[in-house]
Amino acid sequence: MVVKVLFFAAAREISGTGMMEVSLEDDATLGQLKQGLVEQFPGLMHVLGHSAISIDREYATDARILYHGAEVAILPPSSGG
Amino acid sequence: MIQITDQVLDPAAVQRQLGSVDAGASVVFTGTTRRLTAGRETVDLTYECYRELAEKSMRELESTARARWELVECIVLHRLGVVPLGEASVVVGVSAPHRDAAFEAARWLIDTLKERVPIWKQEHWADGSRQWIHPGVTSPTGLGGDGHAR
């Protein structure tokens, strides 16, 4: 399956992209996706550890099983206002 | 009413939109770009967001505030992109029959927006460096936010 990953703010700066598509084994979890992202972008580990993640605009935990076409967003701590 | 916009925000226009014969009180909070943070000088701030989730979160803030307090009007606006010194990045306006609800709701809306809505600011410091602000994240790479007044 293929999921879309969105990066914002510091996470976007570290990965060098706002969006990428990632191929995963069927039934891969969000935790496995995060592990793969850290392998690809080691500098992301620290920010990722503090970030919330959404799947199709709902907040999700590492145990969640991903699905083809999911939109996964890496959301570092907010600083709006 | 909630809105995320690239346009300049006008707190006076928000104040006018709060007017109602059902309201006995109105409060407008305006957050603006400040020159000094812990002695460091800011040139301007740049804001970005995850628009779909940010709009959804802001709509939830409005409906929670309306459920919790008796409000007449409730307006939350956030600007994106570069916000120069002195200009508004966020405006929260509420009107209510009584002032306690107006004060409390406005305070809760801005505090909760800062905490929950996926919007981020990047400092552009006077020394030319740029830094994404992420409260609670400190790292040697210059990313961070600890100690930054929120």
Tell me which of B139, B146, B148, B150 to substitute to probe the interface with A (most A C-beta atoms closer than 10 Å).
B139
pLDDT score of B138: 79
Alpha carbon distance A43, B34 (integer Å):
30
Number of Cβ within 10 Å of residue A32's Cβ equals 15
pLDDT < 50: residue spans in chain B: 140, 146-150
Q: Considering the domain B2-132 in this protein, what is its CATH number?
A: 3.90.1170.40
pLDDT score of B139: 59
B63 burial (CB, 10 Å; 0-12 / 13-18 / 19+) is exposed
CA neighbor of A80 nearest in space, from B65, B118, B128: B118
pLDDT score of B149: 42
Residue ranges of domains in chain B:
2-132
The complex scores an ipTM of 0.96
pLDDT score of A52: 98
pLDDT score of B147: 41
Q: Considering the domain A2-75 in this protein, what is its CATH number?
A: 3.10.20.30
Q: Do A77 and B56 touch (CB under 8 A)?
A: no
Number of Cβ within 10 Å of residue B5's Cβ equals 11
Closest A-chain CA to B52: A57
Q: What is the pLDDT of residues A13-56, one digit of tens each?
A: 999 999 999 999 999 999 999 999 999 999 999 999 999 999 99
